[in-house]
Amino acid sequence: MKVSIVGASGFAGGEILRIVAAHPNFEVDQLCASSSAGKKLGEFHPQLPQLAKQELKAVDPEALKESAAIFLALPHGQSGKIAAQLRAGGVESLLVDCGADHRLTSKAAWDSYYGGEYCPAWTYGMPELKCASEPSQREQLACAQQIAVPGCNVTAVTFAFQPLVAAGLIDPNDIVATLAVGYSGAGKSLKPHLLATAALGNAQPYAVGGTHRHIPEIAQNFAVSSGNNPEDYKITLTPVLVPMSRGILATVTAAATQKTSTKQLHALYQDFYQEENLIQVLERGSWPQTQAVTGSANVQVQVALDKRSGKIIALSALDNLGKGTAQAAVQSANLALGLPEYNGINQIGVAP
């Protein structure tokens, strides 16, 4: 199957290409960009020598009609316009949006956190999201023509806390998530706080005080898992940029609503994720770490009870460009195209 990437020069586009180039069912078709059009891919992704000489082109709906799937690896506010352009141009391919444009089901949430034109929500690209009602997320993806890939921070927090939310074991009014995030999550745009002089030997928070745009998406996922409303979940999210290129380590806490123990919580997680090939519940006493999942679609999770405070602490580690973006995009596309879910998905990490 031919697949194309719009936004191929960016970090997410490059990671999608790394997976697609080794995928047993995919062949790279068009590589598209805006300001980088006319240049060769090798200028941006020298790690992909087999594609280095392929030219980046402007988006042309006619040229993209042969693609079975088109991945949109663009900043928020751009993919909605490109998607509309493609559909207006007669493109019937599967569209997979790695940006935020089609994630939120609530226009009010979009207006509050993003602003600008609201685009209707697409099928959500998180197969592991457990739905309180039918159909399952995998069943929805199998019928999808348009997929919205989750945010990377959203994925980390959702996988860390989803079992607790689904079981009703935590107080939804005070969920606190602190994330150590690698710099590739900020994209390639040139900004002073992203320069090496600001990054090396430094940790810096951003989007503090309830302003991070992933907050309503996390609440939306918790509502899907529990059957409640997104407004029921009060989430404090504080991401901190740390000097690593890839990875997220999420620590999420909330008060327990009933008597429990670390042993019981661990058993809950093992049962909840036992059918999920990409999510590893670690042995008790072991803790997630980003290096173990670098370059892969794997997610490590762990949970513990702080008996003195009555708080439950759950942690997750993933590669923000891997399961946080590109691996999730390809995994979801596999389901929509009728392929085995894990075809081309990398389940082996790179360490050190």
Q: What residues act catalytically?
A: 152
Q: Angle at CA 171, nearest 5°, toward 169 and 175?
A: 110
**What one-character-per-residue DSSP string does 27-87 give?**
EEEEEE-STTTTSBGGGT-TT-GGGTTPBPB---HHHHTT-SEEEE---TTTHHHHHHHHH
Helix ranges, 147-304 (H): 152-167, 196-199, 215-226, 262-272
Distances (CA, A) of 324 to 85, 90, 98, 339: 27, 30, 10, 21
Closest Cα partner for 97 from 130, 57, 64, 70? 70
CA distance 328 to 63: 26
Q: Where on the phi/psi map is residue 187: left (φ > 0), alpha (ψ -120 to 50), or beta?
A: left
